[in-house]
Amino acid sequence: MSDVEKTLDQCRKPQGDKGKEIVEKMNKNHYEVTGWGLQMLTLEDDSQVIDLGCGGGKTVQRLAIHTPEGKVFGLDYSEDCVDWANELNHRAVEEGHVVIIRGEVDNTPFEDENFDAATAVETIYFWPDIQKSFKEVHRILKVGGQFLVINEAYPDDNNKEKNKVYEEVGNMVVPSPEELTSWLEEAGFKDVIIELEEEKNWLRALARK
């Protein structure tokens, strides 16, 4: 396995010392694009929110700041990430404001219409069945609930070679704005808004149930 493959495999499911190193880098390197993406989200003080593929828990931490009377869940299928996210958010976890659990994004343990908002930051590339997962997100959101997707890459001519390497070597899915819109609508979402930061190859998408 090449170094690129090993790194992307750790991005998919961080674990062990190398995974910890990758997660700490992601918490730092994704901070700016996450902040840009979160500007689309409208949260109330008492909103109930879930971050899907929460990794090291940095986005959970940011969401918790904006929902002081609500509750923020983080879900990841890496047991180590669950531990690291709990560690980062330990005070909020102790207070019952934050809950971090291990789980699969296409089969979550939540009831129908449970959340006001869901976020997916730099993670849908690795989801094994994006359509099934989008339908699951739709199921657990309340009517009118928001689903925010933040990607640091989308296909365009200026970044064609970079994204091709990711897709071929890392078995990643890097959707175009058109593909993402179609997948969200097919899963039942409406009012899909996609915005691009073309210089940086960033994409943010907001959809409602």
Report the CATH number at residue 48: 3.40.50.150
How do strand 202-208 and strand 190-197 relate by DSSP bridges? Answer: antiparallel
Residue with tokens 């709990």: 86
Task: Report the residue count for the chain.
Answer: 209
Cα-trace Rg, the chain: 16
Range of the domain at 26: 3-208
Measured between alpha carbons, how far is 66 from 79 in angstroms, rounded to an integer?
26
* DSSP-derived 3-state class of residue 111: coil
**Rounded mean pLDDT of 176-190?**
97
Chain centroid to CA 66? 17
pLDDT for position 205: 98
pLDDT for position 162: 67
| Share of residues in the chain with pLDDT > 90 (%) | 70
Per DSSP, the chain holds a count of helices (H) and strands (E) of: 9, 7
- Does pLDDT of 59 surpass 80? yes
pLDDT for position 163: 66
Angle at 165 between CA 176 and CA 1, to 5 degrees: 135
- Does pLDDT of 1 surpass 70? no
Q: Is 106 exposed, middle or buried (0-12, 13-18, 19+ CB in 10 A)?
A: middle
Nearest of 112, 151, 110, 107 to residue 129 by alpha carbon: 107
Q: Please give the model's pTM, rounded to 2 decimal places.
A: 0.87
- The structural domain count of the chain equals 1
* DSSP-derived 3-state class of residue 38: helix
